[in-house]
Chains A and B, each alone.
Chain A
């Protein structure tokens, strides 16, 4: 008889519950290998007489010498090391070749040293982004940046109204980002109708369009019916058929069948199988934010007149996703954490590197991104940060490749937000140093 206790938790085979102490070292692996290369290179350039830089072959020789010192045993690391170093030297060579006729070589040397210095600084921040033992969290970049972004794009709060109001506060500047993190680019893998009513998938383009339809129909010509929970009030209602009427060739069949779930995600409900009307909590939110107006009628009943904005229902979706963050679909979790990891990474780079830094492309290179972002995504999922189910973060090589797609889908508003994050980094760093 075996006394080995069986686990009561169903975890897919091959998937271990990874601890903070498992993931952080993996995140640090590549970062901590990049910094020494840049530091060594910087030292070599400082030591080198400026005039010698004009002879490109000397740089090649230095690189070859450095490569001989490669003592990494792990093949992946060794390959990365070589690739990274050769990229650094190639960039330096190109920079010299391009400007040697126009800029004095002594200035070129200074520029290279300065760019290397900035890059080492960026890697230093990335390396010390958090504490291994998670102590003094509020003094770490990972924590404060996650909270800074979370407050704006995926706010927390005791109830949905608080979350909604926080999101709305930032929507005038960041609505496109807020909408973006709800729309995973792998939406075609999502199932709209789920046996688990609680699970929230991302917003597909068609669901987004449906939400626009619903918003317009409420503002244009709503019907009114009794508010089930409040006898003296009348709710605005629209016909379910009117929402789906525009679709040809049954292309919105899946959405029509899942209308109860879709409605629930945007604060609505289906009444008598015919009408779509707001739920009580959405009505309260809308009343507080002027998205609905009370109109007393001659029969003493209060009619609720809708005055919706584009973002009214979308932000409810986002607020609900934030409130139920433990029940998000795999696609949505991957998408949200990817966006957070990307924003943190790019924010730090923007803060530390000047726009003309010649080493920027190395940091933005997909080979670097795929080494850093997947682990950063997992780190931001831990309970002290976003509190998402990190077991749903995919580890497959295919998924790593999806990061490439994701980066290609950047929007302007995200770029603006990255600048804001960079400014915040500067501010936080100053405050930290002053204390």
Chain B
């Protein structure tokens, strides 16, 4: 009920409708398609969206963003373990590309965002540091020995470890040794591991706990994306603390990537002629890929769609706070421009055609749209 009376939401829906109108106008003027009927299919889809999206207070958006996108990549909760669990569960080979891109999205939005260029490789260190031991701990001295540069002061590596500990919310325990073997001096070792609730989640697939021997091994599935999921979970639970999550660039970056996911999910599938060379291309798999119109990627069509869509996503993810952080300027246009070239592993080019890999998130969102349209037609 609150949504119905919410003028901001209403305004955003109206803006999106206007955007659709503009996009349709632009589409009528230009054509980037080489498949007969592709442009018409896209125009029809945009018209359908115009007709159905505002219904029931933007029900399609609410279901797609709240139930699907948030649940898979940006859970709406304050509990870290819950957020982490949900993101981890949405992992698949292809969806991993999205998870990776979400991290890279921050990198490309601004040089000094949360995950800067050098932090990516450091995440690899975490994987190896945890894989090395059979108690699922990282020990500070061992970490320094593994990754420290003998030509640089130790504080570099210390700072790196501290940063990682903070970023991934690791918990620490200290072990005091009265006399160490080498110098017979007192030495303090700090052990870092994950909080218990996270270990419980990892146990299902990524961590093998041998209670008999008291060992905890990481499995082959334990990889860098486990950490990227943690990073995303961390951002998602701190969404109200803008400083903590890297400022407005993060908000703009993440909203734009989700807007791209949403848009990709709504694109109609095209049927290609049986003589189309794409059907013989070994990279094209008819079972899990579909050709979609490419005209929507033209700046003239995309800009009017993306601008309101990014705001809609921002509003649904972070309410008014996030909405006010959407940069309404040339920078925003640059972000939109940047985003259209992302997710290239699931929104790929094959012989000049745009192909969508039918990963679960696209299919689930597309189903919401289909259900509502079919329901409307029946009624």
Contact surface of A with B, Cβ cutoff 8 Å: 94, 97-98, 171-172, 175, 185-188, 205-206, 209, 212-213, 215-216, 219-221, 245-249, 251, 290-291, 305-311, 361, 365-366, 397-398, 401, 404-410, 412, 415
Contact = CB atoms under 8 A, between A and B. Distances in A.
A431 to B, nearest CB: 28
A141 B168 CA distance: 42
A358 to B, nearest CB: 12
Given A97-B213, A220-B32, A366-B132, A290 B351 contact: yes
Contact of B121 (A308, A405, A410, A415): A405
A251 B223 CA distance: 29
Given A309-B281, A405-B128, A291 B151 contact: no
Nearest to A97: B213
A249 B110 contact: yes
B195 to A, nearest CB: 22
Interface residues of B, number: 63
Nearest to B348: A310
B93 A291 contact: no
Contact of A205 (B117, B128, B220, B351): B117
B197 interface: no
A405 B352 contact: no
A309 B349 contact: yes
B350 interface: yes
B60 to A, nearest CB: 27
A248 B121 contact: no
A220 B282 contact: no
A220 B298 CA distance: 7
B281 A246 contact: no
B151 to A, nearest CB: 7
B124 A406 contact: yes
Interface in B22-64: 30, 32, 34
B128 A306 contact: no
A404 B212 contact: no
B297 A404 contact: no
Contacts of B114: none
A220 B350 contact: no
B212 A205 contact: no
A301 B30 CA distance: 23
A94 B213 contact: yes
Given A221-B32, A405-B121, A398 B93 contact: no
A249 B335 CA distance: 11
Interface in B273-312: 277, 281-283, 294, 297-298
B108 interface: yes
Most central of A187, A398, A406, A408 by chain B CB within 10 Å: A408
Contact of A401 (B30, B32, B146, B348): B146
Contacts of B282: 171-172
Contact of B124 (A98, A209, A246, A409): A409
Nearest to B343: A212
Given A98-B212, A212-B341, A247-B338, A311 B283 contact: yes
A187 B342 CA distance: 20
Given A248-B334, A290-B277, A408-B224, A209 B213 contact: no
Given A246-B341, A409-B224, 17 more contacts: A94-B213, A94-B215, A97-B213, A171-B282, A186-B121, A219-B294, A247-B334, A290-B351, A307-B352, A365-B132, A398-B149, A405-B124, A405-B147, A408-B123, A408-B128, A408-B131, A409-B121
B164 to A, nearest CB: 13
Given A219-B349, A311-B283, A205 B341 contact: no
B18 interface: no
A365 B125 CA distance: 14
B10 interface: no
Interface in B351-379: 351-354
B115 to A, nearest CB: 11
B4 to A, nearest CB: 37
